[in-house]
Chain A
Amino acid sequence: MKSLKFLFLIAAVVAASFARAAEPVANTAVSDAATRGKYLVSTAGCHDCHTPWHMTDQGPRPDMSRALSGHPENFEMPPAPAPTGPWVTSVGATNTAYAGGWGVSFTANLTPDRETGLGKWTARTFIDTIRTGRHLGRGREVLPPMPIAVYQNFTDEDLTAIFAYLQTIPAVKNKVPSPRPPAAAATAQR
């Protein structure tokens, strides 16, 4: 019964995520980079994965008190269920943890917290990350479900605007866990 509730929550979060993505966003004139960045963040689905979701009276909603702060550090995830049949991906209840053939990924803290977020990043590192699909432009690959190939269609100006906006939102101290290798690889390393 408990697992049924959990599955329902996941389904509801995913469904609500798509529903919100379809909501119209005010086409305000953009006067500066951060305003333009806010528009792009709200239309490109960043909150769907980088803001933890929680259950409300209206159903699952992004918890905007922790906007864009990534997978909550205190929400420890047990080992992911083994993929069976055609179902190969699992999603955590907050929509911030994903398991699949690549291992387990946790969405990043995009807030300007200097220790756990993007507070020390520059626009250049942000752009390099998207352009190369590698962490900080030269580290490990950015993992699914981050739609890197889609976001590579942003211009440098768009990415600069997004970064400018992300630097204006409230900083949230939240140390996102490091990704986990696929179960088979993790077993082999031990």
Chain B
Amino acid sequence: MKRAFLQCLLKLALLGALLPPVARADEPRALPQHLRDTGLYVADSLSQVSPDVLPFSPQYPLWSDGAAKRRWIWLPPGTHIDAAQADAWEFPRGTKLWKEFAHGGRVLETRFIERGADGAWRFASYMWNADGSDAVLAPASGTREVAAPHAPGGRYSFPSQDDCRACHEGAPVPVLGFSALQLSPDRDPLAPHAERAAGTVDLKSLSERGLLRNLPPELLSRPPRIAASTPAERAALGYLHGNCGNCHNDEGPLAVLEMTLAQRVAAPSPGNAVLRSIVGVESQFRPDGAPADAARIAPGHLAASVIAVRMNSRDPLQQMPPLGTQAVDAEAVALLARWIEGLSKN
């Protein structure tokens, strides 16, 4: 009897060794190889977005060489975003977001980020084929210089995983463009490149649907808006927030530069901290041939304003942002010029 029991134990042990390991519920899954398997579209479609996927449109969008963009978010059923920290929303595990890039009416890329069961975020880029019949996962190292006739220079690059992380992991929350300021119903009429498709969600509609909870009530009664002395200043600061604040903030790895371009909605006078860190402040980076009075923003002097100079350059040694664009955003540079030239030199 004792021997039979021991044999039984031995068999169980051997069986356990031969069986594949049981996947833990919180283990990250491999990224889907095809966009159609990420949940953006209804079954057997690459154009009809699932009804439970919500479109959104940030008021200060990121410049992407003039690409037309569409964005969506999906929250697992029964979950919600916790907005108790108004500047660092807590997204439920399982959250998915997508952003689509098109030039000349042809969709080239869809980016995808997902919060896994383990709480970690992961990033993917999907490359569309020429006839739009499939979009496959880009290599982790990215793909450079794919022919795209309507993109600047006729070329289009797909980001690497490191590129994704460089931008998304510089901010307190890796979801960029879906925040209290970006979804404020009090939208900035001067914001460059703002698009607002029908049916996009904002703070009010998200709260009403119970998808956004614990948002400080004053942000609903008086939607967030950048404090500024002129409309041009509001739009310029908004542009810097949407395009630069993901890295240049006071919490991420670049906090050592003591230059914050990220606006806060929770703190009083949110614009002032940004202005204090850039207007008349010496720039650590000094472009070749910069005038003697060069500063991050030199009031009344565009050519001495290093932020604008770097935005207006695509020399890889000095261009800003350093990633993701090949073409200068002329509309944004013109906006900064209006703002800077209107600033008092005193």
Contacts and interface: CB of A to CB of B under 8 A. Distances in A.
Interface of A: 102-103, 120-122, 124-125, 128, 131-132, 134, 136-141, 143, 177-181, 185-186, 189-190
B116 interface: no
Interface stretch (B70-78, B146-154, B311-319): B311-319
Residue from A120, A132, A138 with most neighbouring chain B CB atoms (10 Å): A138
Given A124-B253, A179-B317, 17 more contacts: A102-B317, A131-B162, A132-B166, A137-B253, A138-B166, A138-B170, A138-B253, A139-B254, A140-B317, A140-B318, A141-B316, A143-B317, A178-B288, A181-B288, A181-B315, A181-B318, A189-B315
B10 interface: no
B166 A122 contact: no
27 contacts: A121-B256, A122-B253, A124-B253, A125-B256, A128-B253, A132-B162, A132-B166, A134-B322, A136-B253, A137-B166, A138-B166, A138-B167, A138-B323, A140-B316, A140-B317, A141-B316, A141-B322, A143-B317, A177-B286, A178-B287, A178-B318, A179-B318, A180-B317, A181-B318, A186-B289, A189-B315, A190-B289
A120 B318 contact: no
B166 A134 contact: yes
B235 interface: no
A14 to B, nearest CB: 24
A136 B254 contact: yes
A109 B260 CA distance: 23
A116 to B, nearest CB: 9
Contacts of A128: 253
Nearest to A185: B315
A178 B285 contact: yes
B247 interface: yes
Interface string B304-340: 0000000001011111001100000000000000000
| In the complex, the 6 A-B pairs of residues with the closest C-beta atoms, listed nearest first | A120-B256, A138-B166, A180-B288, A181-B315, A179-B317, A178-B286
A43 to B, nearest CB: 28
B282 to A, nearest CB: 10
Interface of B: 162, 166-167, 170, 247, 253-254, 256-258, 285-289, 313, 315-319, 322-323
A84 to B, nearest CB: 22
Nearest to B162: A132
A190 B254 CA distance: 30
Contact of B256 (A122, A178, A179): A122
Contacts of B258: 120
Given A132-B166, A136-B253, A103 B289 contact: no
A189 B256 CA distance: 30
Contacts of A186: 288-289
A126 B324 CA distance: 23
A140 B323 CA distance: 8
A103 B317 contact: yes
Nearest to A116: B284
A99 B313 CA distance: 20
Contacts of B318: 140, 178-179, 181
Given A120-B256, A125-B253, A138 B317 contact: no
Nearest to B315: A181
A138 B254 CA distance: 9
A152 B301 CA distance: 41
